[in-house]
Amino acid sequence: MTLATLDDRTPPRPVGAAHLTREQIDELGRELDALRAEVMDSLGAEDARYIHGMIQTQRMLEVAGRLLLVGARRPLAFAAGTGMLAVAKILENMEIGHNVIHGQWDWMRDPDIHSTSWEWDFVAPAKGWKHTHNDVHHTWTNVVGKDRDVGYSVLRVSREQEWEPRFLFNLPMNALIAPLFEWAIAIYDLELDEVKAGRKSKGALRDDFKALGVKVARMIAKDYAGTPLVAHLATRSGVQALVGTALANTIRNIWAHAVIFCGHFPDEVESFPEEAIAGETRGDWYVRQMLGSANLEGGKLFHIMTGNLSHQIEHHLFPDMPSRRYGQIAPRVREICERYGLKYTSGPLHRQIRQTWRTLARLSLPDRLAVSR
């Protein structure tokens, strides 16, 4: 009897996987588990060298960028310093910070490069971000009502979200979030809506506020007080240095926002109703990660600059696999998708950005007014 009831509760298959049988999905789960085990067993000295080298490069860029900004009165120093600092911040946040905080490098047992101790050059404290991102977003990917990254609670990004008049401002809101991305994420990680709904305690919110306050103070002290002050004392370039650090942060914000929004919101990426995940198996979970993510195409340097989030599908399948391995397994994941008739969404950055913004524009209107795709 119990078994029969359980069978009755088998959740609706995602649209993109409606053609698969239960056995096929189980087999798919086993194949992906085996792929993961194969890669994780082969991690070694070469992977360690990669992340050590990446961190070394990032730190040299950061130091060089800041030193150039000390002389930011000279336009060339300003431009080079700002550019290098922006690249350093992008590498620090994406290829290093995001991935270290995911635990991708925990296997090295190096306390300097570990998810439990890493703090990043981003306003949102690593601890709160670990909860909303590693835990909530990666578990409930694209499940409307569960994955709070769906619309970040201020945007409408899926038809599954009920339309409200405030979504008329979908486009201006997104245009505002992009340059202020690190601040938007910091506020988002406080989970104010969860507090309002009574699912997060006031005490927990107070602790998060305190942690954010300390972090904000230190971030401002470095970028908007320390560096400009040194520049002012050394070469009277304080104002130019301040503009430089602010610009570097803005460039990083716009880039990170673009890459991240392309990961889940282009056309053909599926979102899922809450009912779809009851009784989900490992295979079902893999299917949802693949159908709910989209890759970006580009060269090696491009992949590094996106923190390998250009391999969003592989990252969502195996969030704790070192990022340098995503490119290696991508052809095999794509082959598996083809064999099972699952959509493997991938496209160049400009196209995915265009589609993301177009979707946001359409969804700003009630469904009956919107032009269909």
Partner 1 sequence: MRWLRPLTDAVSTLTYPLHLDEIAALIDPRFSSKQPRARVTEVVAEGPRSATVRFRPAPGWQQHQAGQWVRVGVEIDGVRHWRSYSLSTAPGQDPAITVTDIGRVSGALVRQVRPGDILYLDPPQGEFVLPEHPRPLLMITGGSGVTPVIAMLRTLAARRPDTDVVVLHTARTRADALFVDELDALAESAPGVRHVLWLSGESGRLDLTSVATPDRLCPDWRDRATYVCGPEGLVADAERLWASEGAGEHLTIERFSVSRVAGPPGSGGVATFTRSDREVRVDGATPLLEAGEAAGVPLPSGCRMGICRTCLTKLDVGRVRDLTTGEVHGEPGDLIRTCVSAAAGDVHLDA
- Check binding of 44 to partner 1 (CB under 8 A): yes
Instruction: List, as one string, the DSSP characters of 189-235.
Output: TT-HHHHHTTSS-HHHHHHHHHHHHHHHHHHHIIIIIIHHHHHHHHH
- Check binding of 178 to partner 1 (CB under 8 A): no
Spatial contact of 151 and 159, defined as CB atoms under 8 Å apart = no
CB 287, min distance to partner 1, A: 24
Show the site string, 7-36: x = touches partner 1 by CB under 8 A, - = not. Answer: ------------------------------
- Check binding of 114 to partner 1 (CB under 8 A): yes
Among 99, 227, 323, 352, indicate the residue that binds partner 1 (CB under 8 A).
Answer: 227
Show the site string, 251-290: x = touches partner 1 by CB under 8 A, - = not. Answer: ----------------------------------------
Tokens 């340098």 label which residue? 324
Please identify, using beta-carbon distances, which residue of 112 and 367 lies nearer to partner 1: 112
> Please, which residues bridge with residue 272 across strands?
143
Q: What is the rounded distance in angstroms from the CA atom of residue 359 to the CA atom of residue 171?
A: 10
- Check binding of 235 to partner 1 (CB under 8 A): no
Spatial contact of 60 and 69, defined as CB atoms under 8 Å apart = no
User: Looking at 18-26, 57-65, 260-268, 343-351, which segment touches partner 1 (CB under 8 A)?
Assistant: 57-65
Total Cβ atoms within 10 A of residue 367: 11
- Check binding of 328 to partner 1 (CB under 8 A): no
| Distance between first and last Cα of the chain | 45
Element (H, E) at 288: helix 282-291
Helix (H, G, I), strand (E, B) or coil at 55: helix
Amino acid (1-letter code) at residue 143: V
Among 43, 80, 171, 205, indicate the residue that binds partner 1 (CB under 8 A).
Answer: 43
Nearest to 303 by CA among 323, 333, 322, 331: 323
User: Looking at 79-87, 112-120, 175-183, 342-350, which segment touches partner 1 (CB under 8 A)?
Assistant: 112-120
Nearest to 181 by CA among 91, 86, 92, 255: 255
Size of the site for partner 1 (CB under 8 A): 35
Collect all residues with Cβ–Cβ distance below 8 Å to 167 and sequence separation of at least 6.
Answer: 155, 156, 363, 364
> Please, which residues bridge with residue 295 across strands?
346
- Check binding of 233 to partner 1 (CB under 8 A): no
CB 185, min distance to partner 1, A: 16
Q: Is 198 left (phi over 0), alpha (psi -120 to 50) or beta?
A: left
Please identify, using beta-carbon distances, which residue of 45 and 197 lies nearer to partner 1: 45
Please identify, using beta-carbon distances, which residue of 6 and 221 lies nearer to partner 1: 221
- Check binding of 234 to partner 1 (CB under 8 A): no
Please identify, using beta-carbon distances, which residue of 107 and 163 lies nearer to partner 1: 107
Question: How big is the CA angle at 160 (ends 158 and 162), to the nearest 5 degrees?
Answer: 95
- Check binding of 344 to partner 1 (CB under 8 A): no
Q: What is the rounded distance in angstroms from the CA atom of residue 64 to the CA atom of residue 248?
A: 14
Q: Is 18 exposed, middle or buried (0-12, 13-18, 19+ CB in 10 A)?
A: exposed
Show the site string, 121-160: x = touches partner 1 by CB under 8 A, - = not. Answer: x-------------x-------------------------
Among 115, 161, 235, 250, indicate the residue that binds partner 1 (CB under 8 A).
Answer: 115
Q: Which two tokens stand for residue 149?
A: 């990254």
- Check binding of 210 to partner 1 (CB under 8 A): no
Show the site string, 65-104: x = touches partner 1 by CB under 8 A, - = not. Answer: -x------------------------------------x-
Q: Which two tokens stand for residue 183?
A: 């601040």
Please identify, using beta-carbon distances, which residue of 100 and 276 lies nearer to partner 1: 100
Task: Write out the residues near partner 1 by the rule CB under 8 A.
Answer: 43-49, 56, 59-60, 63, 66, 103, 106-112, 114-117, 119-121, 135, 218-219, 221-222, 226-227, 230
